[in-house]
Structure 1
Amino acid sequence: MENGAGNGMAVAAAAAAAAPAATWNFAPNEALLGLTALSVRGVLGRVKAGMVAGGGARPVIPMGHGDPSVFPCFRTAPEAVDAVAGALRSWEHNSYSTCVGLEPARRSIAKYLSHNLPYELSPDDVYLTSGCAQAIEIICSVLARPGANILLPRPGYLFYEARAVFNGMEARYYDLLPEKDWEVDIHGVQALADENTVAMVIVNPGNPCGNVYTYEHLAKVAETARKLGIFVITDEVYAHLTFGERKFVPMGVFGEVAPVFTLGSISKRWLVPGWRLGWIVTNDPNSVFQRTKVVDSIKSYLDISSDPPTFVQGAIPNLLENTKEEFFDKTVKILRETSDICWEKLKGISAITCPSKPEGSMFVMVKLDLTCLQDIKDDMDFCCRLAKEELVVLLPGYKNWLRITFAIDPSSLEDGLDRLKSFCLRHSKPTK
């Protein structure tokens, strides 16, 4: 019987191989196929594609995307590790979470964020997400409707456009003004908006520009949103990571002027991007989001999506309560040092101009002057060749701007900027 069955299977397999190709009823989602160019990971993959495996004698210098946790000088706080270990050892956080997140975690985050606001947040204002990336995904999904558009900053964080486009929304870009420390072009926002505009996005402190907005400028943004009848989505992942004269001001301060969705996470301030704990917070004392049922849509979306790890949620109260200020001060001190290194060394690199010294986040944007270089087509070509020749990874910005992170070990940063200078000299046009 076994031999007979085996022979029968072999005959069936041979017949199937000889049969003409079938017409299959499935196909990929076309909307996904073009999104690689709109993600940091996708662009990073293109830039690194030509690098020699192993890197030879020199190490790769990652100056393109912000994950400082790989460097020993950017280790998270011991109190954060203890909080997670305690949550695991308690045996109380191995079950599913509620869709909006564990109540103690939401209460702690509400208290933490209320310190800088003129009103108190409640746990019901907080929705936990798997990092800020899922928060962006949820907001863009909730807002999507036929004909809707959303206003995004340029330069900005690509993931917003990717999620908006995937959900069928039109992305419209307003400019950030490099000559004004990357302030929002308020007139540009007003010119772009129409009756189908649902929201505008700001990132503060700025990714990828390194700017920090003043109270006065944020007030103008809020008043503009109010006039246009839209709300503000404020990405504050880099909240409090400031090292210049300007201090961080949360957009939620202006929640009574225009409703605000605050997106944040523990990823950057605690240097743990892999822990995947973020939030959406409604800064909305006038209950606009309640009346328009936007919060109902968020809850419905959370019902059909994944949750952040329950044990990380369980660790949040102790993590927020027990982390010492010395840890935050140390992180800011290192970022101040590396931003200074970046600012000073960029001055000596031909073909690259930095319009303003970064004051926050972990990034700076620099202008690439192609007229000074030979055989370089654009910012993407520049980054790909730099990665291949010097093992330095930068990311293209837009229209020949470059995105640089300085959240790496100071000695590695100096090495990377020296290699960047050598690359520019090697490709510079000969002087006449």
Structure 2
Amino acid sequence: MRTIRPSAGLANVKYEIRGDLARRAHEMERRGYDIIPLNIGNPGVFGFRTPETMRLAMIENLKASEAYSHQKGIFPAREAVVMQQQSRGVRGVSADEVFMGNGVSELIDLVLRALLSTDDEVLVPMPNYPLWTAAVNLNRGRAVHYPCHAANGFEPDPAEIEALITSRTRAIVVINPNNPTGAVYSRATLEAIARIAERHHLVVFSDEIYDQIVYDDAKFVPMATLVQNTLCATMSGLSKVYRACGYRVGWVSFSGEIESAREYMSALDKLSSLRLCSNVPGQWAVQTALGGYQSILELTRPGGRLFESRQAILNGVANSKYLQVHAPRGAIYAFIGIKEGVLPNFDDQRFAMDLLEHKHVLLAPGTSFNTPYKTHFRITNLPRPEVLADVFLRMEELLDSYANGAEPVSRAAPDLKVVRNQS
């Protein structure tokens, strides 16, 4: 029988957040194990609800959702994005410069596909949300990673970014607040990146899906307020701030030097037309979401659930003999590392698998985010504080076994006699 082989274009594409570890976790759940899933920022799994006003907006407009919309999206949703950008100080944006997509994930693919030719380069942060690297590679480009060092709180060094620019560089990606590290970039850093992009005529792709999720005194600065003399694409959506991952609604709005990018915008319009339109019912929630009360602020201030769960992570790390972390200032993750010298043979992939198999906790190894080092892992702060406190006890048990050269001690097996058939 002839083997059906996958495309060679997938050779440099990885998305381990939903890879082998997640598949193994699913197998274990089918056998009756309770797995704590910390690998994905999926609010609905942990009891977060989409604001009721957004659900009602969808219901009330179901009759208007049965036909295809314009390929760029419905006008009320695009106009709501314009109004939000204007309220933040972004000028020169109209509904014509806004595209709605099936989540930001689809738009990442579309904006890169419309831009890149073979071997064009895109500067991508490292560590990074792996879809950016994957999408560059899938669209014939080459992802060039600029480092965001832990010693600098995971903020990039603009001089290191500029040193990577070549004649093939077309764009720079900024993820702020950052996934996976939780860094919130300073205005000075963002201004320096904006000037680099302008000097070298690079498109700026600013992934701001966590724009309103910040903690303590962190200040989010929209990139589009700083970029004037080149094209800036701001990307956001409903999935995180509004806890509506399943609605699959994202958007990209273009600002800055629009006139010189008309051919590129036409190419993006063509690609949007090829997929007809994005999910229409979910688009009706956008105007209500952006124009209404921002309930995320209740969750991120002291006493709010996201704030307190983040604090539980910081407490767990502080109480550990092995772990360290730069306190996340935004987003819904912590990028946790091993203290230097305490476990010299630590391997993030082995740790993640052992933690799943023996302690029933699923997380994402740091190398999932295109790091060259194997000393970090990412968890989400979406579970309740008491759940995260228990997770750190399980981690410490496993790390103790590493330090003592002992075999990991597994948690009790499930009572298979009472496991329901989940097939």
TM-score bucket of the superposed structures, by smaller chain: 0.7 to 0.9
User: Does residue 275 of structure 1 match 2:275?
Assistant: no
Mapped partners of 2:202, 2:88: distance in 1: 23
Alignment of 1:291-306 (within 5 A): 293-305=263-275
1:349·1:424 contact (CA, 8 Å) conserved in 2? no
Distance 1:410 1:233 in 2: 34
CA contact (8 A) 2:71 2:278 kept: no
Q: Secondary structure at the match of 1:140?
A: helix
The question of 1:420 aligning with 2:395 is answered yes
Match of 2:35 in 1: 60
**1: CA distance, partners of 2:9 / 2:399:** 38
1: CA distance, partners of 2:71 / 2:299: 33
- Selected match of 1:172 from 144, 148, 166: 144
Alignment-derived partner of residue 262 in structure 1: 234
Q: Could you tell me how far 1:81 is from its partner in structure 2?
A: 1.3
Unaligned runs of 5+ in 2: 407-423
Deviation at 1:372, TM superposition (A): 3.5
How far the C-alpha of 1:316 sits from its partner, in A, is 2.4
Asked whether 1:31 is paired with 2:3, we answer no
Does structure 2 conserve the Cα–Cα contact (< 8 Å) formed by 1:239 and 1:248? yes
2:129 counterpart (132, 157, 168): 157
Give CA-to-partner distance per residue, 1:255-287, whole Å, 9 cap, x none.
Answer: 314321111111101001110000111022553
What are the ranges of 5 or more consecutive residues in structure 1 without an aligned counterpart? Answer: 1-20
2:360 aligned to which of 391, 400, 420:
391
Render the CA deviation track for 1:275-317: whole Å, top value 9, x for unaligned: 0000111022553322xx1111111111112532112223322
The CA distance in 2 between the partners of 1:53 and 1:165, in whole Å, is 34
Partner Cα distance (2:117, 2:333) in 1: 33
Q: Counterpart of 1:372 in 2: which secondary structure?
A: coil
Residue 311 of structure 1 corresponds to which residue in structure 2? Answer: 281
Identify the match of residue 345 of structure 1 among 300, 316, 319.
Answer: 316
> Residues 105-124 of structure 1: matches in 2 within 5 Å?
105-124=77-96
SS for the counterpart of 2:206 is strand
Relative to the length of structure 2, the TM-score reads 0.88
Q: Pick which of 269-278 and 115-124 moved more.
A: 115-124
1:136 is aligned to 108
Residue 13 (structure 2) pairs with residue 41 (structure 1):
no
Q: Match of 1:367, SS?
A: strand
Alignment of 1:181-192 (within 5 A): 181-192=153-164
> 8 Å contact 1:43–1:395 — kept in the other structure?
no
Equivalent in the alignment of 1:87: 61
For residues 289 and 159 of structure 2, the distance between their equivalents in structure 1, rounded to whole angstroms, comes to 42
State the structure with more CA Rg.
Answer: 1
Q: How many residues of Structure 1 are paired with residues of Structure 2 in the alignment?
A: 397
In 2: Cα distance, 1:122 partner to 1:344 partner: 45
Cα contact 1:368–1:402 (8 A) shared by 2: no
After superposing the two structures, state which structure 1 stretch, 204-213 or 407-416, moved more: 407-416
**1:330 partner amino acid:** E
1:373, distance to aligned residue in structure 2 (A): 4.1
* Structure-1-length-normalised TM-score: 0.86
Q: Is the 8 A contact 1:52 1:388 kept in 2?
A: no
